[in-house]
Structure 1
């Protein structure tokens, strides 16, 4: 019986002693309270406290992310949008973080949301949708330093999403569709106009080329005709009377070979008819008749 009692006493003592042994992890601080009142702050490692009398509270000093879910904000032009963001913070003063506020993290989130509402409230919908980087910077500058009262330091703020209301989204989709259709119509019209311009240009160039070719052809023909005439004229200028008489005889011969028996010619070239069969017969008859007339005249005389 006495042995069991001693064992129980020893176990109780060991339990009490172990209750006074604590390990504070890396990136944590410990807040030691004596009868519920803050006594001191200890760093990470092995910490001994008075069992039952003292208690330790561990506070993380590492960087922590916080997601702020979507909530409604009204823009300057009375457009309703929903915004979600994330931020990263760390505890700089564990005492202020734990004792100055019952929930410092929630207070920090409310502070960030309030300033974000004020910033977006000064912007139109289009400005807010296209200025997330600007909003991030303005929001960080606005809350930096204000959270020190909670022992918190905000390291980064990021707008994850800005979503307009369903009605605004439908209107924006219609506007986007209209803009796309307008752009497509303009592009099609410009393409048709360009095609017509190119076709007209090609036709004009073809017409000009044809006209130039015809003009060159006519010029070449005119030059050839001029050369032929000039050559003939030069030959004629250098020809003598014998050449022209010979040409006349050749012409008479060609006429005699044809079906025509009537030839009109100058009396000076009458002797050339001797080379033509028909003309020769006519000449003989004329000479014969002329002789008869002469004889008759002589007889009369």
Structure 2
């Protein structure tokens, strides 16, 4: 009984071992190659598969998901003999498991070395300024070259990115000074533009002020001319009225006219800045006497004109009476202060 029990247990263990070696479960994102007597026959997709016992076995287990490879940092000499340190990262994805498994040994290492060599080639063909400011161009050139090189391996290179690019310390200092000078130049240009705009604004303001001042002077001159015109019209009307009154024999009109002119002349004489002395009547009654004398002269002239007209009609004219001399007002000199 012990022997039969041991045989049964051995058969059960062998069945389990055989079952696990024949039935294979492939997880999602993975693929497995199947070898028959050491030769590749097929590729197992995700799911459950059954192998031929004692004939087939699993060859390679391939990761079909996108992978990230780190390209180590290296020193590269640019076209203008500048030494820069460059490193990168590569995003790859296995598209064909059999080619990636049997056409290349150590696929990650091979892709890393391929990226390093091509990185030196691309960066070495460019000047330092192009390397610093044209990373997208470097990435696209590397991607084109490396993707074409890895296509026979069943690998697709999705992206290549320059992770870090470090120029030498002296070039970094020169770049910092250049950036500072550029900033200062922009500040000077901005300040000059501000001063220019301010000067233009001030000039525009002065122009508008001059225009408004000229318009004000023109309006004032126009109104002054209009006032003088109206004053002249009023003076002409007043003179006409006085002339009519004199012709009609009104003594008060000529007295008013002469008195007005006398007062204006005296005021003008008093305003003369070159006059050292001003002669004025001692009494204001002298002005009234002058006006009265002028009135008598006008009356005598009128009587004489009427007598001449009567003589012409009737008889020879009588001798004209002597004209009385109008009283002359005293004119004392008063020093002007």
TM-score (ref. length: structure 1): 0.73
Which of 297, 311, 331 does residue 270 from structure 1 map onto?
A: 297
User: Structure 2: where are the runs of 5+ without partners?
Assistant: 263-280, 301-323, 328-337
Retained in 2: the 8 A contact 1:24–1:58? no
Q: SS of the counterpart of 2:286?
A: coil
Task: Please tell me whether the aligned partners of residues 24 and 47 of structure 1 are also in contact (alpha carbons under 8 angstroms).
Answer: no
Quote how far apart the aligned CAs of 1:252 are.
7.0
Residues 268/26 of structure 1: CA separation in 2 closer, same or farther (3 Å cut): closer
**1:103-156: per-residue Cα shift (whole Å, max 9, x none)?**
122112221232232222222233233323333322222223311333322233
Determine the C-alpha separation between the residues in 2 that align with 1:164 and 1:15.
Answer: 63
Q: Please give the alpha-carbon distance, in whole angstroms, between the structure 2 residues aligned to 1:215 and 1:111.
A: 88
In structure 1, what is the equivalent of residue 123 of structure 2?
Answer: 120
- CA shift digits 1:148-205 (9 cap, x unpaired): 3333222333344444344333332322222122212221222123213322331332
Paired position in structure 1 for 2:335: none
**2:97 paired residue among 94, 99, 116:** 94
Q: What's the counterpart of residue 85 of structure 1?
A: 88
Aligned counterparts of 1:285 and 1:4: Cα–Cα separation in 2: 182
How big is each residue's C-alpha offset from its partner over 1:8-66, in whole Å with a ceiling of 9 and x where there is no partner?
A: 6336524641452332333433233466x334233123232545984532122333332
How well do the aligned residues superpose, as a CA RMSD in angstroms? 3.9
What's the offset of the Cα at 1:220? Answer: 1.1
Contact persistence 2:71–2:115 (CA under 8 A): no
Report the secondary structure of 2:218's partner residue: helix
How far apart, in 2, do the equivalents of 1:191 and 1:10 lie?
98
Alignment pair present for 1:174 and 2:177: yes
Unmatched tracts of structure 1, length 5 or more:
274-282, 287-301
Whole-angstrom CA distance in 1 between matches of 2:239 and 2:290: 25
2:293/2:326 contact within 8 Å kept: no
Q: Runs in 1 of length 4+ with deviation above 6 angstroms?
A: 252-257, 264-268
Equivalent of 1:248 in 250, 254, 258: 254
Q: Is the 8 A contact 1:88 1:154 kept in 2?
A: yes
Quote the residue 1:148 is aligned against: 151
Match of 1:289 in 2: none
Task: Work out the CA distance in 1 between the residues paired with 2:218 and 2:60.
Answer: 107
After superposition, where does 1:1-301 map in structure 2 within 5 Å? 1-2=2-3, 5-6=6-7, 9-10=10-11, 13-14=14-15, 16-18=17-19, 20-21=21-22, 22-33=24-35, 37-44=38-45, 45-48=48-51, 50=53, 54-237=57-240, 239-240=243-244, 241-242=247-248, 245-250=251-256, 258-260=284-286, 263=290, 270=297
TM-score for the superposition, normalised by structure 2:
0.66
Using a 3 Å threshold, how does the CA distance of structure 1 residues 70 and 266 change in structure 2: closer, same or farther? farther
Q: What is the SS of the residue equivalent to 1:260?
A: helix
Q: Is the 1:29–1:41 contact (alpha carbons within 8 Å) kept by the matching residues of 2? A: no
